[in-house]
A and B are shown apart, each in its own frame.
Chain A
Amino acid sequence: MRILYLDTSSSYLFSAIVEDEKVLAEVQKEYGQSLSEVTLPRIEEMFQQAKITPKEIDKIIVVNGPGSFTGIRIGLTIAKVYAWSLKIPITTIYSLEAMSISSEQQMIHIPIINARRGYVFAAVYDENQKCLLKPQHILLSKLQEEVKDYKNYEYITNDEFPDLNNVSAYKPNIEKIVRTFQDKEPINPHSVNPEYLKLTEAEESKL
């Protein structure tokens, strides 16, 4: 089974073609604002490297957030249009799950993404990947309060948090992420939608 993995929820492009739990081609690179321009060309290069055609993909796993709103939509649009047009299964995972799973440390994982104005997108998982705090948009100070009683934990992030200790950089282990989620129940491509975990400012100001 050949799986296309795609995560454009941050300033990085994380993508791979995985065949029977083996990575055939992979991209892990920071592109900042130019993800809309580079994502499909880099995917095309992966296919050339893997020596397969775009129609020879059996399943798509896509990260649906949280993270950069525009970034999430880029990857998700590609993934849902791809899956819809070929009628192949698609499934979504949280960026925060991918971050936690990629860690090698036997401890509590707290993946966090800067959401500005003192807020973060965060979740807490134990060493067995059991979710202790579900993915949410939360004040960093409140998150610190929530986790203060944990003894052995690490924050996982690629953003700058000068005031935090026990921080590890996020380096995706895509082979492991795909292995973990390859059997996850597929969803209808029409229902594949971003998990922003936050309303737009216009909607918030109406509340």
Chain B
Amino acid sequence: MKDIYILGIETSCDETSASIVKNGIEEIATVISSQIDIHKDYGGVVPEIASRHHVKNITMVLEECFEKANMKMDDIDAIAITYGPGLIGSLLIGLEAAKTLSFVYQKPLIPIHHIAGHIYANSLVKELEFPLLAVVVSGGHTELIEMTDHFKFHKLGGTLDDAIGECYDKVARVLGLEYPGGPKIDKLSAEGEPTYQLPVPLKDDSYNYSFSGLKSAVINLVHNEEQRGEDIRKADLAVSFQKASIEAITSKARKAIIDKNIKNVIVAGGVAASRALRKAMEDLTNELGVELSIPPMKYCTDNGAMIAAAGYYAYLEGRRADLNLNAKSQDTLN
């Protein structure tokens, strides 16, 4: 069979990224231009600033990607693009770039849902096996998704309010940690003991999550300790918070694995970089005797490679978009 090369472009938040992936599994080249240092000064991503940087960087990122791959546009079989969900102004830059390349070079355009990209980051390591449970944990998403085949998504449940990564960032801010706070909480946790009592969110019979209560509990705890003139033991609070949030993730994942008779579990999204979460998922899947796949750290954050990997399977499925494809800030995964 002929090799298929997909160009993946991802600009849904604050990373401008392009990647070329062969046959959905072999990463030929990836370039990621991150804006973390820019948005750090504002304590979070400022959408208009993110859009301004995407438009500034887009051709440089594409050029570097093609140079690294030692390829040219004519070698590409199709262009995969994140059309949503995400920040609309950011999405539009990648979208218009992908549409332009599709038009000029008459190559198929493949629309990819950002979460499908995170899930397919796993297929850059080994092919997905079905049925599987995808535990999606990122700054914008916290979802349990059952997949019976390629691009057959069934959402079992999701967060009713904040995403887990959003909650990490907010708690980090309360602890005085710089944006992005998630990785810093994870690091700090290694030095503490879970001595603070925090509620495990939404202990019910659903597959849903809720993190706003946990976030408020941390904020209130910090406030009360300050009122009493007590010093916050930051490492202890970080580990207590991680313990409660991860217990929420694993308890619902456990329920889904058992209820749905799942044999393969994957973790996807930026929070999959959390060592504590990785360990908890390993323990859970070992206990239940099911396979676990977590992408390497470099594929956990937003990148074009995961979009190209998802694009390969979408390409085989015959998924195509016209030049009137628009960006969507919200969209159901299907």
Contacts and interface: CB of A to CB of B under 8 A. Distances in A.
Contacts of A196: 52
B59 A81 contact: yes
A66 interface: no
A40 B100 contact: yes
Interface in A51-93: 54-55, 69-70, 73-74, 76-78, 80-82, 84-86
Contact of B55 (A41, A194, A206): A194
Chain A contact surface mostly: helix
A47 B56 CA distance: 27
B103 A44 contact: yes
A1 interface: no
Contacts of A41: 322-324
B327 interface: yes
A154 to B, nearest CB: 33
A165 interface: no
Contact of A84 (B62, B89, B327): B62
Q: How large is the interface on B (under 10, 10 to 19, 20 to 34, 35 or more residues)?
A: 35 or more
A189 to B, nearest CB: 5
Chain B contact surface mostly: helix
Given A37-B326, A40-B100, A86-B104, A80 B46 contact: no
A10 B59 CA distance: 24
Interface stretch (A130-138, A169-177, A197-205): A197-205
Contact of A202 (B42, B103, B327): B42
Given A38-B324, A202-B46, 7 more contacts: A36-B326, A40-B103, A54-B103, A54-B105, A70-B92, A73-B89, A77-B93
Interface of B: 41-42, 46, 48-49, 51-52, 54-56, 58-60, 62-63, 73, 89, 92-93, 95-97, 99-101, 103-106, 322-327
Nearest 3 CB-CB pairs, A to B? A77-B96, A40-B323, A84-B59
